[in-house]
Amino acid sequence: MAPKIVVAGFLHETNTFATTPADYENFVNGEGFPGMCRGADVLRLADVNVPAGGFVAAAGEWGADLRPVVWCAASPSAPVTDRAFERICGEIVAACRAERPDAVYLDLHGAMVTQSHDDGDGEVLRRVREVVGPDVPIVVSLDLHANMTRQMFDGADAMVAYRTYPHLDMADTGRRAAALLRGLLGGAELTSHYLRIPFLIPINSGSTFLEPAREIYAHLDTVADEDVMLTFAAGFPAADFPDCGPSVFGYGGDRDAVVREVERLRDLVVRREAEFALDVLSAEQAVDAAVEAVGAGVRPVVIADTQDNPGAGGDATTTGLLRVLLERDRPRSVLAAMWDAGIAEAAAAAGVGGTVDAEFPGSGVVGDAPLRGTFEVAALTDGKVVFDGPMLHGNVLAVGPSCVLRSGNVSVVVNAHKAQIMDRNQLRAAGVVPEEQDIVVVKSSVHFRGDFQPMAGRVLVGVAPGPMAADPTTLPWTRLPQGTRTGPGGPAAS
């Protein structure tokens, strides 16, 4: 008889220093991820580059009896509301109770904080385990930025995280989870080992397009003992609770081999600590460097507006890089995308060719002043996008009524809903051809690299005042364990 497997997903990466929480409606919309889906619609994720899609495809190949419940994600933000957590987690737990499954697969992030739970993912696992009992295997796929906790290890039989950043291997991670679960259902006995890394890693420094992350993650595929599955979870360095930070862990049948390989991986990460140092420019430096590069024939130059990344707790509302673009007024400059439903509505009322007096209010962060100006409405769109790039390939995004505003040589895309820029189609859908621009500023930190870096003459990271600190040493930490270095090389939490 085919094993009955409950399938569910509930993903959120929480920035406890951010101000905008994730409520239920944010998970319904998806905010850059696929929108909430239930029942048979979850199985359609097999065509999308998300972990649940890879799991569904792989488990279907070996004839599993899949019982899909719900899958949802929301853009990183302040903690998840109790309203959203209880409703979504409640659906998953109720399904596990009703189905009495042979196994459970959960697609989680690993860095969820809620209004009532520091360890949201661990709380989901605790409740599911309580319902299904100790003998039903639970396997979990995780984001590369998971903040691992003891409660997560207590609740799951096996966990595995992405190995690429940008996260191009999400579906592959789901397939790895399916392989682990199939082994457990076949009687395999897994042992695990888990070690913490003593320093926080800035998210920009952890891209696997760059060193040292590229080599460290490549190491995971070269483990001598094929029975050991290793994970390096880089942690999400904006969640102020004791378990925030990177870790390494592994699963396998031979405990000695698992311990040996996990310790080797830990030593490799610690040895490369200094190379994780942050490499960023101020907004002015970034735009001026882009202008210089274009003058030398290097184009387009892509600048990450990293401290306003909606994929890390920003709201796509900061004005710093937009202000510098407008001041420099270089031909073929574009910023994507600001989040302001009111401005998008005003642009629709004015019509293409009309003008709007717009005020971008900023984020409220010190140094991020409002920006006012008169703009021409260059384009209006419905905000519907299908991703063609490798990050979330196949995803259908809905950012609501959108517009392209123009002032001088500078264009700015404005959306009614916030979403990190990850795919060139997010610009194309607004009528902007990214390959024809000289300077492209994106509200993102690293995920844009998957689709934008191949076309870019140069990629820069710009820092303007915003809610997602690129440098975790600047955050007002209060709950990290004493001695944890808040960035590569320190300083240490006290």
Render pLDDT for 278-304 as a digit per residue (tens, 0 to 9): 999 999 999 999 999 999 999 999 999
Q: Mean per-residue pLDDT for 169-192?
A: 96
What is the average per-residue pLDDT within 330-359? Answer: 98
- State the sign of the Cα–Cα–Cα–Cα dihedral 119, 28, 97, 133: negative
50-105 pLDDT, tens per residue? 999 999 999 999 999 999 999 999 999 999 999 999 999 999 999 999 999 999 99
pLDDT of residue 223: 82
The pair of structure tokens assigned to 457 is: 């003459």
> In the CATH hierarchy, which fold is given to the domain comprising 4-276?
Rossmann fold (3.40.50)
**Is the confidence at residue 249, as pLDDT, over 70?**
yes
Mean confidence (pLDDT) of the chain: 96
Whether 436 has a pLDDT exceeding 80, the answer reads yes
489 pLDDT band, cuts 50/70/90, is very high
SS (H, E, C) 272-310: CHHHHCCCCEEHHHHHHHHHHHHHCCCCCEEEEEHHHCC
Q: CATH 3.40.50.2300 residue ranges in the chain?
A: 4-276
pTM beyond cutoff 0.85? yes
pLDDT in tens, 121-147: 999 999 999 999 999 999 999 999 999
At residue 494, the pLDDT reads 80
- Counting residues of the chain whose pLDDT is more than 70, the rounded percentage is 100
| Alpha-carbon gap, residue 207 to 328, rounded angstroms | 30
**Residue 424, by phi and psi: left (phi above 0), alpha (psi -120 to 50) or beta?**
alpha
**pLDDT tens track for 391-408:** 988 888 889 999 999 999
Q: Please determine, for residue 4, whether its predicted confidence score (pLDDT) is greater than 90.
A: yes
pLDDT reported for residue 224: 64
